[in-house]
């Protein structure tokens, strides 16, 4: 009996050892696989490239599956593995991959500059052929530069407009023309508060989700911004004034009560969808969100109310990027270029935009063919006045993180605006 | 000669192998592998990361020495987070233990339906912490929250309160939720302790005419010492490392006003894009937990009774 249990114990210990060994073996094997995958020679030898792509919608994976299948049929020596990752995780995922040295070959994200700063990326002209590069909207290429050199290519862009609830406006006796300026906006909000007491006149989502965008729209509408004419201008007077103006609205009860914890999707969009908010800074994809939530409200879009010296209305343009990671010996360059230029072929790129759902194209040719689209037209019209994030600055991601954390506090009554802006500015190198 | 030379070591090797297989090592090797792989190696990696200069992209730029620590100690939000962490841990653990003592006593008493009450107490434990925190987050919402609805209907408040909108109201709620999810485990540990106290001791006390208050303080509590110790230490560590409740309900916000060092660590890595500084805070956190536990072990006198 004792002997039997002893033997069983030995077997158990042995199997434990074996399992540990097998695990170690696995790890070694997979490391080998990835390194051979990305360091395959430039010859006709089979090569694997990996792409981490952003999940704009659930249609992205089927789109890439189809794209890769057709690409591999044309290029039998290249295998492409595309992993579509949700927006919540993709930033962390790419960063972890960089940190562990397990680089993908192609990345897709809303910033690129910190990767470029660390010398990890191919230049844009190594990524796509010259004629595709020439077809890109110039502003977008400008925004893809780090220290004067483009290290990424735009994959798509979005623009924003002001949304208002038509029924509430009618009840309050207001029209689109009443909200052209900041003064007009404030008067309109007061009128709504007086005549339609149950709704929030203006939804102001300065919670962490998207505070950097929300505040930039307001600041740029007041000739302010984060980075102007080659300098960080976070603590500028125009930005302080912007926060003071918003503070006034919050204090007067014309917005949601706690902007610093009020997020865009589950706060502002939800409130607007239920007809409980009269106005908000919306985006090109808000209509599809409203539709998804089964909202039946009657809404329309208007330019952002402005307080600029020139009286013009701005929009916030946000672009995302494709970029290529160098591997050892830069042996993956050719395969990346082939795949990227395949993706930007007119039909394939149109499919990409369709799968991503309602964004603005990054290429001029696709822009022309879409300019007749009624829902996109107002956004394409405001693009010449678009302001962008200073995404070309390496410290922008850190500044953005700090903005998301703290800028909402600056509009709360009694806040020390200057100190909060200085805290944000301290993240800018 | 040559033959002897090569044969002897082989024989010795064989003996060694035999000795190795007969000894305890084969049995504890898997355990050692686990301890080294899962406990010690990550600790080493954490400390190593804290001395690296890591760019915003995640790329390692070289060694940073103690620069990350210096940067961490200059962080204006650190002091607040540390003092808040102490307040958070001590208040959550103290309130939890206090309430659990009552609950355990109740569950130890005989009454009809006791089994169901015991089951019911497991619910907050069985539910995912993320789910619990998410439920509370929406119950406390200024627009749709049921807690505002109830308080409004009962006339306690005249207009909805944005409970999670500022730290004065949100931090107490975070503590309440943390206590709520910590209660089941603590209560069951104490209940188990209560059941190990032999009835004869109580009988003897009764014979000696001890009042029920006196019985509780001089018999029950002292005999619960081991259970209370285990419950406190495990809660201490759990509550200190508690991330989901704070993250889901307030995200440490507004600003940094409800951050503990655990959530601040996450923000440093993924908002401020500074993995090195975040790792150094994680080393500091590790040290704080160790100190917490050591102080507690000393104060409670645990381990001395073996002497």
Supply the ipTM of this predicted assembly: 0.79
Each residue's pLDDT tens digit, A35-77: 444 444 444 568 899 999 999 888 899 999 999 999 999 999 9
Cβ B50 vs Cβ B279: under 8 Å: yes
Mean pLDDT throughout B49-53? 88
> Are the beta carbons of A401 and B166 separated by less than 8 Å?
no
B29 closest CB neighbour out of A13, A96, A117: A13
Q: Does the pLDDT at position B98 exceed 90? A: yes
Instruction: Round the average pLDDT of chain B to a whole number and report it.
Output: 87
Could you give the C-alpha distances from A360 to A304, A349, A382, in angstroms and in order? Answer: 19, 12, 12
Instruction: Report the pLDDT averaged over residues B64-85.
Output: 90
CA–CA dist B167, A260 (Å, integer): 11
Q: Is the peptide bond before A324 cis (omega within 30 degrees of 0)?
A: no
Q: Average of pLDDT values for B4-23?
A: 71
B302–chain A nearest CA distance, Å? 34
From first to last of its 429 residues, what are the pLDDT tens digits of chain A? 444 444 444 444 444 444 444 444 343 334 333 444 444 444 456 889 999 999 988 889 999 999 999 999 999 999 999 999 988 788 889 988 988 889 999 999 988 888 898 889 999 999 999 988 998 988 888 889 888 899 999 999 888 999 999 999 999 999 999 999 999 999 999 999 999 988 999 999 999 888 999 999 999 999 999 998 889 999 999 999 999 999 999 999 999 998 999 988 888 999 999 999 999 999 888 888 888 888 899 999 999 999 999 988 999 988 899 999 998 888 898 999 999 999 999 899 989 988 887 788 888 888 887 777 777 888 888 887 889 998 888 888 889 989 999 999 999 988 899 999 999 999 887
**B4 pLDDT exceeds 90?**
no
Residue of chain A whose Cα is closest to the Cα of B273: A398
DSSP labels for A22-88? HHHHHHHHHHHHHHHHHS--SSSS-EEEEEEEE-SSTTHHHHHHHHHHHHHHH-TTEEEEEEEE-HH
CATH architecture of the domain A44-158+318-380 equals: 3-Layer(aba) Sandwich (3.40)
Contact A406 B60 (CB under 8 A): no
Q: For residue B124, is pLDDT > 70?
A: yes
**Interchain proximity B26–A96, CB inside 8 Å:** no
Write down the pTM of the prediction: 0.80
What does the alpha-carbon distance between residue A404 and residue A402 come to, in Å, rounded to a whole number? Answer: 5
Q: Where are the domains of chain B?
A: 82-302
Contact list in B for residue A208 (CB cut-off 8 A) is 251, 253
Over pLDDT 90: what percentage of chain B?
Answer: 39
Structural contact between residues A212 and A205, judged by C-beta atoms closer than 8 angstroms: no
Distance from CA of B93 to the nearest CA of A (A): 27
Q: Report CA B99 to chain centroid distance, whole Å.
A: 18
pLDDT at A1: 40
The whole-number pLDDT of residue A14 equals 43
| Residue of A317, A315, A292 whose CA lies nearest to A304 | A315
Across the range B182-187, mean pLDDT stands at 93
Report domain extents, chain A.
44-158+318-380, 160-283+395-425
> What's the length of chain A?
429
Whole-number Cα distances in Å, A413 to A7, A245, A257, A417, B33: 74, 11, 10, 10, 57
In the DSSP assignment, the letter for residue A312 is P
pLDDT reading at B305 higher than 60: no
Instruction: Give the pLDDT confidence score for residue A26 in this predicted structure.
Output: 40
Least confident window among A378-387, B116-125, B293-302: B293-302
Single out the residue of A78, A77, A152, A58 nearest to residue A113, CA to CA: A152
Domains A44-158+318-380 and A160-283+395-425 share a fold: yes
Residue by residue, what is the 3-state secondary structure of B48-104? HHCCEEECCCCCEEEECCCHHHHHHHHCCCHHHHHHHHHHHHHHHHHHHHHHHHHHH
What phi, psi does A52 have (nearest 5°)? -110, 115
Contact call for B267 and A13, based on CB within 8 A: no
**Which among A258, A210, A224, A214 is positioned nearest to A409, based on CA atoms?**
A258
Per the listing, tokens 């084969």 go with: B26
With tokens 């709504």, the residue in question is A192
A contact residues 6-45, partner B, Cβ 8 Å cutoff: 9-10, 13-14, 16-17, 19-20
- CATH annotation of B82-302: 1.10.3720.10
Using CA atoms of B51, B57, B58, B60 in order, give the dihedral in degrees to the nearest 10: -50
List phi, psi (to 5°) of A281.
Answer: -75, 115
Q: Phi and psi at residue A125, in whole multiples of 5°?
A: -75, -10
Please tell me the predicted confidence (pLDDT) of residue A306.
Answer: 93
Q: Please tell me the predicted confidence (pLDDT) of residue B66.
A: 87
pLDDT at B234 over 50: yes
> Does A276 contact B at CB distance below 8 Å?
yes
In A243-314, the DSSP E strands lie at 277-283, 299-302
Record the tokens describing residue A253, joined without a space: 């009860």
Which chain A residues have a beta carbon less than 8 Å from that of B29?
A: 13, 16-17
Q: With contact defined as beta carbons under 8 Å apart, do B58 and B275 qualify? A: yes
- Closest to B143 in 3D by CA, of A275, A186, A249, A218: A275
Q: Does B62 touch chain A (CB under 8 A)?
A: no
Look over chain A and give the mean of its residue pLDDT values, rounded to a whole number. Answer: 85
Burial of A219 (0-12, 13-18, 19+ CB in 10 A): buried
Q: Hey, are the CB atoms on A120 and B143 less than 8 Å from each other?
A: no
Residue B188's pLDDT band, with cuts at 50, 70 and 90, is: very high
* pLDDT score for B304: 58
Give the model confidence (pLDDT) of B206-220 as tens digits: 888 888 888 888 888
Question: Nearest-CA residue of chain A relative to B249?
Answer: A261
Asked whether the beta carbons of residue A257 and residue B162 sit closer than 8 angstroms, the reply is yes
Judge: B253–A14 Cβ closer than 8 Å, yes or no: no
Class in CATH terms, A160-283+395-425: alpha beta
B56·A394 Cβ contact <8 A: yes
């Amino acid at each position: 009996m004792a002997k039997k249990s002893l033997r069983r114990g030995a077997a158990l210990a042995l199997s434990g050892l074996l399992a540990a060994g097998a695990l170690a073996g696995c790890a070694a094997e997979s490391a080998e696989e990835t390194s051979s995958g990305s360091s395959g020679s430039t010859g006709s030898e089979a090569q694997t490239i990996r792409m981490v792509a952003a999940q704009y919608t659930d249609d992205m994976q089927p789109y890439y599956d189809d794209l890769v299948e057709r690409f591999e049929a044309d290029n039998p020596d290249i295998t492409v593995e595309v992993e579509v990752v949700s927006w919540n995780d993709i930033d962390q995922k790419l960063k972890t991959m960089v940190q562990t040295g397990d680089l993908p070959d192609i990345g897709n994200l809303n910033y690129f500059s910190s990767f470029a700063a660390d010398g990890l990326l191919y230049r844009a002209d190594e990524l796509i052929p010259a004629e595709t590069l020439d077809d890109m909207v110039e502003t977008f290429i400008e925004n893809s530069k780090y220290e004067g050199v483009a290290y990424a290519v735009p994959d798509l862009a979005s623009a924003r407009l002001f949304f208002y609830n038509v029924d509430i406006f009618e009840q309050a006796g207001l029209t689109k023309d009443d909200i052209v300026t900041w003064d007009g906006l404030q008067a309109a909000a007061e009128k709504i508060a007086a005549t339609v007491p149950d709704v929030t006149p203006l939804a102001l989502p300065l919670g962490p989700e998207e505070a950097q965008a929300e505040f930039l729209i307001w600041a740029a509408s007041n000739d302010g911004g984060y980075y102007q004419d080659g300098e960080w201008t976070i603590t500028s007077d125009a930005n302080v004034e912007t926060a003071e103006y918003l503070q006034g609205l919050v204090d007067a009860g014309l917005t949601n009560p706690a902007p610093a914890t009020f997020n865009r999707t589950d706060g502002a969009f939800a409130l607007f969808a239920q007809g409980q908010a009269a106005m908000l800074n919306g985006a090109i994809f808000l209509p599809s969100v409203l539709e998804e939530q089964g909202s039946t409200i009657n809404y329309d879009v208007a330019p952002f109310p402005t307080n600029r010296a020139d009286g013009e209305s701005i929009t916030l343009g946000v672009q995302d990027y494709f970029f290529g990671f160098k591997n050892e010996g830069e042996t993956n360059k050719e395969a990346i270029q082939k795949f990227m230029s395949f993706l930007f072929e007119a039909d394939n790129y149109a499919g990409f935009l369709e799968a991503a759902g309602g964004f603005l194209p990054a290429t001029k040719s696709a822009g022309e063919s879409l300019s007749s689209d009624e829902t996109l037209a107002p956004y394409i019209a405001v693009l010449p006045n678009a302001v962008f994030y200073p995404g070309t600055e390496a410290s922008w991601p850190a500044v953005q993180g700090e903005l998301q954390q703290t800028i909402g506090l600056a509009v709360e009554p009694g806040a020390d605006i200057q100190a909060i802006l200085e805290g944000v500015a301290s993240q800018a190198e | 000669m040559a033959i002897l030379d090569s044969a002897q070591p082989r024989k010795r090797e064989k003996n060694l192998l035999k000795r190795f297989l007969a000894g305890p090592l084969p049995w504890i090797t898997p355990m050692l592998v686990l301890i080294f792989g899962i406990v010690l190696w990550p600790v080493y990696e954490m400390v190593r990361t804290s001395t690296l200069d890591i760019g915003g992209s995640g790329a390692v730029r070289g060694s940073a020495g103690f620069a990350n620590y210096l940067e961490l100690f200059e962080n204006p939000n650190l002091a607040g987070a540390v003092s808040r962490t102490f307040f958070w841990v001590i208040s959550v653990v103290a309130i939890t233990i206090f309430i659990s003592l009552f609950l355990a006593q109740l569950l130890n008493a005989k009454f009809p339906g006791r089994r169901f009450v015991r089951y019911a107490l497991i619910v907050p434990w069985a539910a995912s912490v993320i789910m619990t925190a998410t439920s509370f987050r929406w119950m406390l919402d200024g627009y749709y929250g049921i807690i505002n609805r109830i308080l409004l209907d009962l006339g306690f408040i005249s207009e909805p309160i944005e409970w999670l909108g500022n730290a004065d109201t949100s931090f107490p709620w975070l503590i309440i939720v943390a206590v709520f999810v910590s209660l089941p485990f603590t209560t069951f540990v104490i209940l188990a302790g209560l059941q190990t106290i032999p009835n004869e001791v109580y009988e003897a006390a009764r014979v000696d005419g001890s009042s029920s208050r006196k019985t509780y303080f001089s018999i029950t509590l002292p005999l619960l010492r081991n259970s209370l110790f285990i419950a406190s230490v495990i809660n201490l560590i759990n509550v200190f490392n508690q991330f989901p409740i704070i993250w889901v309900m307030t995200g440490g916000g507004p600003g940094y006003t409800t951050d503990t060092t655990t959530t601040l660590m996450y923000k440093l890595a993924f908002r401020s894009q500074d993995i090195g500084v975040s790792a150094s805070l994680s080393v500091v956190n590790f040290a704080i937990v160790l100190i917490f536990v050591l102080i507690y072990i000393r104060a409670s006198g645990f381990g001395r009774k073996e002497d």
